[in-house]
Amino acid sequence: MKYNLLGNTGLKVSELCLGTMTFGGKGWAEAIGSLAQPAVDALVKRSVEAGINFIDTANVYSEGLSEEMTGQAIRNLGLQRDDLIVATKVRGKMGEGPNDSGLTRKHIMQQAEASLRRLGTDYIDLYQIHSYDPLTPLEETLRALDDLVRSGKVRYIGASNMAAWQLMKALAYSTYNHKEKFVSLQAYYTIAGRDLERELGPLLLDQKLGLMVWSPLAGGLLSGKYTREQHQEEGRRGRFDFPPVDKDRAFTIVDKLRPMAEAKGATVAQLALAWLLQQPVVSSVIIGANKPEQLEDNLKAVDISFSAEELQQLDEVSKLAPEYPGWMLDFTGGDRKAN
């Protein structure tokens, strides 16, 4: 297991991060997974044994139950809290009242305290906004997050699921008003869905933000068990067909991955994860599991290597179609390249 700096911080996070959306199975999250506490304990134990020090959850996962089970697993296993980096999120609907969602000061402060109680800890390492809130002024959100850091209840703040202009606006506000800045973005990115590379990827590299990748196997579509002929009837995709993926394009990529995997004695899923670990913008890839064997398979991705020729082949089969202004910037930028 390798450890990468999280953005422009000195914090080292494991290149694989344990995702907890399969914990609990309450509400809408039941379609993702419904693991009970003993199974959760086993996954956390094996992850830590493999070198993972990074765990990601959210208040909306199983209506708070995922956070509770994550915290309980840490205690059940006798793990040292300070050895772990625990990340959670705020924004989603956590009640029926008009102020039970969003990124207002009221909701953020309430949910930070609730997450601390559920996790059974006195601080959150990385507190992330789960998405953008178009109703709340950005400065209200950032000031509330800054107050949480200054109080000692939160160590770092991060963002998730934002457009590049929204993220850059937030970074600029924090810079010029001397508030805590986002250190990372959690975003969807796979070899079958490389949209992040258009605007967000260059922004992250330029501003030195870390990237945590969610759904790196495209909701299981890149697990290797799906084919063109059968990809809707079983597994997670049959219950919850998300995130949106161009399936025909994805299976063209799988067709390229499958023989490579066989030649390496590996799986399609391992190669899809390993490809992400090769991308310079990626800090950590979030893996989740319903079964121990799924976790074991994913953990082996850190041992996969590619030749330059293999990486070129994968880039060719998965690269994005040219889009404005990207193609124009490439066209006009030829005279301003460093020697």
Residue 317 is classified by DSSP as H
CA 4 from chain center: how many Å? Answer: 15
- The catalytic position among 3, 61, 127, 132 is 61
Instruction: Supply angle C-alpha 3, 6, 9, rounded to 5.
Output: 115
Query: Assign residue 324 a region: left if phi > 0, alpha if psi is -120 to 50, beta otherwise?
Result: beta
Where on the phi/psi map is residue 25: left (φ > 0), alpha (ψ -120 to 50), or beta? left
CA atoms within 13 A on the CB side of 140: 14
Per-position DSSP letters for 191-215, written without gaps between them: TTB-GGGTTHHHHHHHHT-EEEEE-
**Annotation marks residue 324 as catalytic:** no
CB 23 within 8 A of CB 33: yes
Q: Where are the alpha helices (DSSP H) in the chain?
A: 37-49, 65-76, 105-119, 138-151, 164-176, 200-207, 235-239, 247-264, 268-277, 292-299, 308-318, 326-332
Looking at the annotation, which residues are catalytic?
A: 61
